[in-house]
């Protein structure tokens, strides 16, 4: 194991970290949310906001990691801050001389893949990283790496907001003025998180792509001029589930159906939550007959997976036609879905 060197500006970097007054602070939902989003986008079981102190790595937020801190000498992130303007990616730690005999590689949690985007203060000093990890060798798609970098900038902005809020708390004497400023910062943070969720293009309940991501994928598929099919999948009698068992039970059904569809799709195409109880499945490089057959498999899988509540889905599927707009393609598929419902539900209808 190669111990990480310390940056030339280490003293200045540590002063920047201390200005945040964040080490050993209590967990905060805003940081936890950003870590959860990073893990979801990159498809990783472990993620953290790691801050590099003089002799330790301390986690402000962590997912899939037990220890609240680790020695700096064994920290992947202590290497990552040495290149503050680059994301450090380690595809396989056992094949990397820096980490092959690292105790966190040879022992728990068994890190094999690592990617860390540095967290920079206003002067460009790296105080830590937003990182994702896996127990298997991996790679990051370019869009995942770009998203991780975008999320690291959001963490840095959150640190600055937190520091400014603390400075105000120490300086302001008038309670009303202080509360007004705090509300402004809270509103700014909510807007930033709302924009971040939109940018992430991820449905927070099911973990599938959201409608914005679906429309972008449909536009790309339409422009490509390659064979593609679109399926719209609707949970039968979902309103009755909510009315009878309550919205928490309805949410659980949505999560269960999403998980079943994800398993059935086996990574083929794009699955998205189209809205409410309706899902969409973009199937590239297949004709209508193949898409219909795959939809039949999905329909049967959902019915078979139902446990506490009987759940079935109706599906409409259509092939892209040359010259189709996204709206026309969606409209034709939606018409097929309603035909499936009128035909008795729990069935697949091809347009």
277 is catalytic: yes
Q: What are the structure tokens assigned to 113, written together?
A: 């893949």
Give alpha helix (H) positions in 246-312: 247-265, 288-305
Tokens 């990182």 found at: 131
**CA separation, residue 101 to residues 20, 56, 112, 235, 344 (Å):** 33, 19, 11, 50, 61
Smallest CA-to-CA distance from 108 within 87, 135, 79, 72 is with 135
**Secondary-structure percent of the chain, ordered helix, strand, coil, rounded to 5:** 50, 20, 30
DSSP 75-125: -HHHHHTTSTTS-EEES-GGGSTTTTT-HHHHSTT---EEEEEEEE-TTS-
**Residue from 174, 277, 296, 328 carrying the catalytic annotation:** 277
- Strand 313-319 vs strand 348-350: parallel, antiparallel, or unpaired? parallel
Q: How far apart are alpha carbons 326 and 245 in whole angstroms?
A: 36
Which residues belong to the active site? 277
């Amino acid at each position: 194991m190669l111990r990480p060197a310390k940056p030339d500006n280490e003293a200045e970097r540590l002063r920047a970290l201390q200005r945040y007054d964040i080490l050993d602070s209590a967990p905060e939902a805003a940081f936890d949310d950003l870590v959860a989003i990073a893990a979801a986008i990159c498809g990783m079981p472990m993620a953290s906001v790691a801050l590099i102190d003089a002799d330790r790595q301390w986690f402000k937020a962590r997912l899939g990691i037990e220890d609240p801190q680790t020695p700096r000498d064994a920290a992947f992130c202590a290497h990552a801050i040495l290149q503050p303007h680059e994301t450090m990616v380690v595809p396989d730690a056992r094949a990397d001389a820096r980490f092959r005999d690292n105790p966190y590689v040879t022992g728990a949690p068994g890190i094999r893949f690592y990617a860390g985007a540095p967290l920079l203060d206003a002067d460009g000093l790296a105080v830590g990283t937003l990182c994702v990890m896996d127990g298997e060798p991996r790679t990051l798609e370019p869009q995942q790496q770009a998203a991780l970098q975008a999320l690291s900038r959001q963490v840095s902005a959150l640190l600055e907001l937190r520091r400014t809020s603390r400075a105000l708390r120490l300086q302001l004497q008038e309670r009303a003025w202080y509360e007004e400023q705090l509300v402004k910062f809270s509103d700014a943070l909510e807007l930033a998180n709302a924009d971040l969720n939109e940018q992430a293009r991820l449905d927070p309940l099911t973990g599938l792509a959201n409608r914005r991501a679906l429309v972008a994928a449909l536009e790309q598929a339409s422009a490509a001029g390659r064979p593609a099919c679109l399926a719209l999948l609707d949970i039968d009698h979902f309103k009755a589930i909510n009315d009878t068992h309550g919205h928490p039970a309805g949410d659980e059904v949505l999560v269960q159906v999403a998980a079943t569809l994800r398993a059935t799709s086996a990574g083929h195409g794009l699955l998205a939550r189209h809205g409410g109880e309706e899902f969409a499945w973009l199937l590239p490089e297949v004709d209508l007959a193949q898409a219909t057959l795959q939809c039949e498999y999905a329909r049967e899988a959902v019915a078979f997976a139902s446990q506490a509540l009987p759940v079935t889905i109706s599906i409409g599927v259509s092939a892209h036609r040359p010259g189709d707009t996204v709206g026309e393609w969606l409209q034709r598929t939606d018409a097929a879905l309603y035909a499936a419902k009128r035909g008795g539900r729990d069935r697949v209808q091809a347009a």
